[in-house]
Amino acid sequence: MHKLSVSDLSKGLANKEFSSTELTKHFLKRINSFNHKINAFITITEEEALKEAALADNLIKQNQQKPLTGIPFAQKDIFCTNGIKTTCGSKMLSNFIAPYDATVVTNLKENQAITLGKTNMDEFAMGSSNETSYYGPVLNPWNTTTVPGGSSGGSAVAVAARLAPIATGTDTGGSIRQPAALTNLTGLKPTYGRVSRFGMVAFASSLDQAGPMGQSAEDCAIMLQALAGFDSKDSTSIDHPVPNYQDSLKNNIKGLKIGLPKEFFTKDLSPDVSATIHNAVKELEKLGATVKEISLPNTNLSIPVYYVIAPAEASSNLARYDGVRYGYRCKDPKDIIDLYKRTRTEGFGNEVKRRILIGTYVLSAGYYDAYYLQAEKVRQIISNEYFAALKEVDVIIGPTSPDPAFKLNSKKDPVSMYLNDIFTSGTNLAGLPGISVPAGFVNDLPIGMHIIGGKFAEEKLLNVAHQYQQVTDWHLKTPKEFT
Amino acid sequence: MTELEIKDVHKVADLARLKLKDDQVAQNIASELNNILKMVKQIQKIDTAGIQPMDHPYQTSQRLRKDEITEKDQREKMQKLAPEVEAGLFLVPKVVE
């Protein structure tokens, strides 16, 4: 059952081949057997899951089900779940029982999806390897000496090892797409404002976006249908109509114009990764797409701009963690400043503290103009390049990540870790949607093809990915140890 | 731009309400932050004359709503999460002498 896609599971439930309760028990058993090997889950919500499954089974009996009714999934531990621990991978929230549901959570509940548990993640979503979590690193099921990518590493690994058929993730600089690429999943970051951020613990408010991570574009389309939509409780939510994402999957892609930025395919890119992506693009050409070289001249500035803006926004967003109203508090504070300083120093891990310090510095008097204001202007320049390119072509394609999964503890220098975001961070800066699609293997490790579209082009991205997945089978492969 | 020294790191940490155990820790952090700043300094070479700063992917203004009470009082529920509460107030060490 765990080898089936969400769309097949939904058909199986409708045809009464199995019940949601049986399905849920099956995945809970797999989680109990395998989670210790890969550390995908922080909290397993067994009791709640079985209750939800029983309710779903009633609806299915009465033939009142929706596409996600009775389907178990894994929830990234960044979404507030009422009555359930929500840790964000941090000691700071290790005792935090969320008092309300995030809109993402509410939407999935309204679609009767079954929450198996809360997945492990880089602390406060800051990381590209899932090594910064207070709850220990997540291991890549394709090779457990390597990282799964981050920050949505736990969600990626839960699906890759088939401990859940699908999962939610969040993406600020690549945190859905990069772990999807490193674990052979399809992961979509929607257009900024497409999915509500209400109840999603904030890292960088102008960059964060939630999205699906699954076995296929079709499965991602099913989950995105439940997640997308205007929410008045999120002041950055955009009121744009939500199309039927499944309907357009079957369209052919004849005449699709693909742009390959020459700055993504320099001599610095591994020849194996480059060849994998070019082969993937050839498949799209066979389906009728045309390809041309384009230019995104300031590609190499995405990382410096991102690592000014994201830490700056994070330093502001994480100022709320002060030990006063919720979360961790240090013991026996002697005065208010001691309360703040020791709570925050003890409660946050090193990467989070590093980014808060950088963010505070670039926003401080005397440095604001040279760093933060300048970064915002360069952000506009980078974004304009994407917008201009997307007038010439329909989609932009490149590798999701410069390399496949790397060894645990191999990138000790923060800057070398940051370079993982080179292809993905520009998409967040411009607010555009991007999808990573399994495209092959290098050294037995998965490689993802990254497809970027214009604002609200999720339909197009899912369509292109789905058509690619009709003529290739990379996305069907699973790691041997977890079959 | 000059490099961060120990005293700069102490100042930034104070602003961020973080505590640095000692000067050795401050020095290590200074090195790490200087590496990061060296990487981000590239943006200063770019001519941004006439470019509007982009703080958000959309040119929209803050959406407003009617000034009406729409939420119910959930103080007791929310304060269950607090480390120390008394008479509906959050308790902290003395702030004013």
SS3 string, chain A, reads: CCCCCHHHHHHHHHCCCCCHHHHHHHHHHHHHHHHHHHCCEEEECHHHHHHHHHHHHHHHHCCCCCCCCCCEEEEECCECECCEECCCCCHHHCCCECCCCCHHHHHHHHCCCEEEEEECCCHHHCCCCCCCCCCCCCCCCCCCCECCCCCCHHHHHHHHCCCCCEEEEEECCCCCHHHHHHHCCEEEECCCCCECCCCECCCCCCCCEEEEEECCHHHHHHHHHHHECCCCCCCCCCCCCCCCCCHHHHCCCCCCEEEEEHHHCCCCCCHHHHHHHHHHHHHHHHCCCEEEEECCCCHHHHHHHHHHHHHHHHHHHHHHCCCCCCCCCCCCCCCHHHHHHHHHHHHCCHHHHHHHHHHHHHHCCCCCHHHHHHHHHHHHHHHHHHHHHHHHCCEEEEECCCCCCCECCCCCCHHHHHHHHCCCHHHHHHCCCEEEEEEEEECCEEEEEEEECCCCCHHHHHHHHHHHHHHCCHHHCCCHHHC
Contact yes or no for B15 and A415 at CB 8 A: no
Global pTM?
0.97
Catalytic residue among A19, A152, A155, A175: A175
Determine the distance in angstroms separating the CA of A325 from the nearest CA of chain B, rounded to an integer. 5
- Is residue A364 among the annotated active site residues? no
Mean pLDDT of B75-82: 94
pLDDT of residue A336: 96
* Residue in B39, B44, B80 closest to A374 by CB: B44
Give chain A positions within 8 Å (CB) of B33. 354, 357-358, 361
Chain B contact for A418, CB < 8 A? Answer: yes
> How large is the ipTM?
0.95
Contact yes or no for A338 and B16 at CB 8 A: no
pLDDT of residue B1: 53
Contact yes or no for A414 and B35 at CB 8 A: yes
pLDDT of residue A339: 97
- Is residue A175 among the annotated active site residues? yes
Catalytic residue among A76, A91, A411, A460: A76
Contact yes or no for A301 and B43 at CB 8 A: yes
Q: Are A451 and A277 in contact (CB under 8 A)?
A: no
Mean pLDDT of B49-67: 89
Contact yes or no for A415 and B40 at CB 8 A: no
Of A449, A404, A447, the residue nearest A258 (C-alpha): A449
Residue A248 dihedral angles phi and psi, to the nearest 5° = -85, 0
pLDDT of residue A438: 98
- The whole-angstrom separation of Cα A127 and Cα A349 is 12
pLDDT of residue A212: 98
For residue B59, pLDDT over 90 is answered with no
- Put simply, the chain A residues between 293 and 312 with a CB less than 8 A from any chain B CB are 298, 300-301, 303-305, 307-308
Chain B contact for A373, CB < 8 A? Answer: yes
pLDDT of residue B97: 66
- Is residue A151 among the annotated active site residues? yes
pLDDT of residue A454: 98
**Can you tell me whether residue B89 is helix, strand or coil?**
strand
Successive 10-residue mean pLDDT values, chain A, 483 residues: 95 97 98 97 98 97 96 98 98 97 98 98 97 98 98 98 98 98 98 98 98 98 98 95 97 98 96 98 98 97 96 98 97 96 98 96 94 96 98 98 96 90 97 98 98 98 98 97 88
For residue B2, pLDDT over 90 is answered with no
- The whole-angstrom separation of Cα A359 and Cα A236 is 22
Mutation target vs B (from A300, A351, A377; most B CBs, 10 A cutoff)? A377
Give chain B positions within 8 Å (CB) of A84. none
